[in-house]
Amino acid sequence: MLGTRITELPDTIGNLKKLARLDLSETRITELPDSIGNLKKLRVIKMAGIEIKELPSSIGMLKRLEVLDAERCESLAKIPSTIGGLTCLRVLNLKETSVCRLPPKLPTSLIELHVSSISLPRLYPSGQIRPSKLRGVAKLHKIADLTLGALCSVLGRDL
Task: Assess if residue 2 is contained within a domain.
Answer: no
Give the CATH number of the domain where residue 113 resides. Answer: 3.80.10.10
Task: Assess if residue 1 is contained within a domain.
Answer: no
What confidence score (pLDDT) does residue 128 get?
Answer: 45
Taking alpha carbons only, the member of 96, 132, 127 closest to residue 114 is 96
2-27 mean pLDDT: 89
**Under 8 Å between Cβ of 27 and 48:** no
Q: What is the DSSP letter of 37?
A: G
Cα–Cα distance measured from residue 31 to residue 27, given in angstroms and rounded to the nearest whole number = 11
Task: Assess if residue 45 is contained within a domain.
Answer: yes
Domain with 122 in it: 11-155
What confidence score (pLDDT) does residue 3 get?
Answer: 55
Task: Assess if residue 6 is contained within a domain.
Answer: no
Task: Assess if residue 113 is contained within a domain.
Answer: yes
97-111 mean pLDDT: 87
Residue ranges with strand state E in 39-158: 44-46, 67-69, 91-97, 112-117, 145-147
**Under 8 Å between Cβ of 129 and 97:** no
> How much is the mean pLDDT over the chain?
82
- What digits encode the pLDDT tens for the residues 34-57? 999 999 999 999 999 999 999 999
77 vs 1 pLDDT, higher one: 77
Cα–Cα distance measured from residue 49 to residue 65, given in angstroms and rounded to the nearest whole number = 20
- With b for 16 or more beta-carbon neighbours within 10 A and e for fewer, the 42-53 pattern comes to bbbbbbbbbebe
Query: In this model, does residue 4 exceed pLDDT 70?
Result: no
Query: In this model, does residue 93 exceed pLDDT 60?
Result: yes
pTM equals 0.81
79-83 mean pLDDT: 94
State the total domains in the chain: 1
Would you call 130 exposed, middle or buried from its count of C-beta atoms within 10 A (0-12, 13-18, 19+)? exposed
What confidence score (pLDDT) does residue 115 get?
Answer: 85
Query: For a pLDDT cut of 90, what percent of the chain falls above it?
Result: 58
Cα–Cα distance measured from residue 65 to residue 33, given in angstroms and rounded to the nearest whole number = 16
Task: Assess if residue 3 is contained within a domain.
Answer: no
Task: Assess if residue 140 is contained within a domain.
Answer: yes
Task: Assess if residue 5 is contained within a domain.
Answer: no
